[in-house]
Amino acid sequence: VVRMFAITGGFHRYFSHRSYKTGRVFQFLMAFLGQTSAQKGVLWWAAIHRHHHLHSDTEHDVHSPRHTGFLFSHVGWIFSPQKNTADYSTIKDFTRYPELVWLDRFSHAPAVLLGVACFLLAGWQGLFVGFFLSTVILYHGTFAINSLAHVVGKQRYVTGDDSRNNWWLAIITLGEGWHNNHHAYQSSTRQGFRWYEIDITFYVLKALSWVGVVRDLRAPPAEVVMGEQRLGKKVLEKVAHELALSFPIDRISEEVRDAWAHRPAMPTLDELRERARQKRQQAAARLADVHLPSLPSLDDLKARANEMYADSPSLDDIATRAHDILLEAVSTRLFDDTELAAGS
């Protein structure tokens, strides 16, 4: 439990997200205690985690169940040289401390010291139960946030990824199970946004703030907690692409091609191709104007957005952008197909 707090309150909420402030001594103590968990160095851990948030549940994410499967996202990625190489340029705010750089270089030293201490205090049983068994349990608690928390649970907020809230994971991991909350506002010290969401890590940090060990604990704005804040451009674009791709674009393109061929009043595909050559967006605009039954309407996309995502003031914006993406994708396929036909 103590080492879990060092991971959640130290490695994650402090070193990865800077969600509160503390002094240099406590900073080093949290890094040292966290490294007794044998999860590599503090700088490596934080850099990997920042990369995860930058690319959450995309093909670039180091541990996404959506793209690499559950087992790989849980533990397999650790053994992959392509996945577990940290970009230390993302952690420059901490690489300026030589003691953290030294600790990260000798990443297993704290864990070895803890193992030796367990053996000296309680013999072989102490080494097995107190160090090896508890370390394995700690591993799976931490790894469950990378895997289970992106598969099992509920999504309260639209975050552009698969992060979920899971109450029993929150108990096991001292509050990390409120993962969708965390992805909605990553810099919050408190991850259990509601009063009934148990977040033991936050409670401990709050108590430490009363005695001055930590300070400036960051909290989510009220509009974030209530789900009233509009999505940023990056998340909106990501979700809109996901919504557009939930429709069978290839099949829709075929149906549009067939429908177009039976509408003599409409320009031919060759004429459309010529327009698109001059300005590709004209093809999508023309498709939007003709109201072919094969094409999902904006209302269709709004309805699906309501089915797929949590309530958000940006759902109409998502549907509108997804509609544009869908039209662009269909017009591109028509353009490419007619160009191939002309070439043959």
Look at 10-14, 115-119, 169-173, 310-314 and tell me which has the smallest mean pLDDT: 310-314
Whether residue 276 has pLDDT greater than 70: no
How far is Cα 32 from Cα 113, in angstroms, rounded to an integer? 11
Q: Which amino acid is at 221?
A: P
Nearest to 188 by CA among 175, 171, 170: 175
- 214 bridge partner residues: 22
Q: What is the mean pLDDT of residues 296-325?
A: 88
Quick one: pLDDT band at residue 338, thresholds 50, 70, 90?
A: very low
Residue written as tokens 């000798």? Answer: 106
pLDDT of 89 above 60: yes
What would the mean pLDDT of 266-289 be, rounded to a whole number?
Answer: 58
What type of residue sits at position 331? S
21 bridge partner residues:
215
- Within 13 Å of residue 193, how many CA atoms lie on the same side as its CB? 23
Q: Give the whole-angstrom CA distance, residue 240 versus residue 256.
A: 22
- pLDDT (0 to 100) of residue 340: 39
Arithmetic mean of pLDDT, 300-312? 89
Q: Is 179 helix (H, G, I), strand (E, B) or coil?
A: helix
Instruction: State residue 179's pLDDT score.
Output: 97
Which helix or strand (DSSP H or E) is residue 215 part of? strand 214-215
Whole-number Å distance between alpha carbons of 95 and 41: 12
Mean pLDDT of the chain: 89
248 pLDDT band, cuts 50/70/90, is confident
Amino acid at residue number 132: F
pLDDT confidence band for 9 (50 / 70 / 90): very high
pLDDT tens digits for range 29-80: 999 999 999 999 999 999 999 999 999 999 999 999 999 999 999 999 999 8
Mean pLDDT lowest among 190-194, 213-217, 312-316: 312-316
The pTM assigned to this predicted structure is 0.85
CA distances from 121 to 25, 37, 137 (A): 27, 18, 21
Find the largest Cα–Cα distance for the chain. 89
**283: confidence class by pLDDT, cuts 50, 70, 90:** low
- Count the residues in the chain: 344
Quick one: CA dihedral 327, 329, 335, 338, positive or negative? negative
String of DSSP letters for 238-268: HHHHHHHHTS-HHHHHHHHHHHHHT-TTSPP
Cα gap 22→17, rounded to integer Å: 13
What tokens appear for 73 in the block? Answer: 């996202």
Task: With beta carbons less than 8 A apart as the criterion, state whether 301 and 288 touch.
Answer: no
What pLDDT shows up at residue 329?
82
Contacts of 232 (CB under 8 A, 6+ apart): none
